[in-house]
Structure 1
Amino acid sequence: MQRTNLVVLAVDDDMINLKLLKSMLMKSGHVKEVVEAKNGSDAIGVLKGRDDVDLILLDIIMPIMNGIEMLKVVRADDNLRQVPIIVLTTDETKKSEALESGANGFIMKPIRHDDLLSKIATVIV
């Protein structure tokens, strides 16, 4: 991973998953800040209010607005569509739908530290 001081938006309705992601990312030494959101709707609000998000880690199965719906909204927005999105899920069947909807990568849960960092390295240049 070349870039440092990344701002990562982690979107998951499970607080334990968010804390785990934040811990892994902050330990990597490449991440300056992890912004948390509980669902796609909250995440869109964060993205509209900030222009410094370098990467989105997105759970698929969430209330209010799920990950696939959020992907479609982000990819349809001229100001946001360039932000890399890695989808995180326990549901392997969602992989092709996520990638077709504009995801840059896919990680199966439970997330392992090395998998997360290597996947981030492939989408952040």
Structure 2
Amino acid sequence: MNVLVIDDDFINIKLVETFLKKHGGVSEIIKASNGLEALNTLTERSDIGLILLDIVMPVMNGLEFLDNVQVKEKIVNIPVIVLTTDETTKKEAFSKGATDFLTKPISEKLLFEKIGKFFK
């Protein structure tokens, strides 16, 4: 499965990428630094099976990204796991279509538990 990681923090992206490379079910890791860049990637590619989404980002934050995903038929069914330090956004993220939620700093074990549900 191809995974899109959306985060504006280079260190967070590197950490998640390191974890994902150890997971046997991940084929490719695609990176975006904000919600707008991610939406552009999703319109160009139809092979993304999972999205890992930060909330606090410039240009378009994670909640705005979720709003935009909901109106795009082609990408609305891609599971989205929110990765954030802001626990207060959990309820809003779920109401906007997030599939799951992980609080940073994330652990490899918890990430694998969350993404394991989406691998067939």
* TM-score tier (shorter): over 0.9
How many equivalent residue pairs?
120
Q: Deviation per CA, 1:3-54, whole angstroms, max 9, x where unpaired? A: xxx1000000001111111110011111110000000000001001000000
Structure 1 contact 104–123 (Cα < 8 Å) conserved: no
Structure 1 contact 11–56 (Cα < 8 Å) conserved: yes
Q: Secondary structure at the match of 2:82?
A: strand
State the partner residue of 1:57: 52
State the distance in 1 between where 2:21 and 2:64 align.
28
Alignment of 1:36-55 (within 5 A): 36-55=31-50
Structure 1 contact 88–107 (Cα < 8 Å) conserved: yes
AA paired with 1:39?
Answer: N
Deviation of residue 123 (structure 1)? Answer: 3.8
Structure 1 portions without partners, runs of 5+ = 1-5
Q: Scaled by the length of structure 1, what TM-score is found? A: 0.93
Q: Secondary structure at the match of 1:30?
A: coil
Q: Secondary structure at the match of 1:97?
A: helix
AA paired with 1:26?
Answer: K
Does residue 94 of structure 1 match 2:89?
A: yes
Q: Secondary structure at the match of 2:117?
A: helix
Deviation of residue 108 (structure 1)? Answer: 0.3
Q: Could you list the structure 1 runs, at least 4 aligned residues long, displaced by more than 6 angstroms after superposition.
A: none
Does residue 84 of structure 1 match 2:79?
A: yes
Structure 1 contact 84–124 (Cα < 8 Å) conserved: no
Q: Scaled by the length of structure 2, what TM-score is found? A: 0.97
Deviation of residue 55 (structure 1)? Answer: 0.2
State the distance in 2 between where 1:49 and 1:8 align.
14
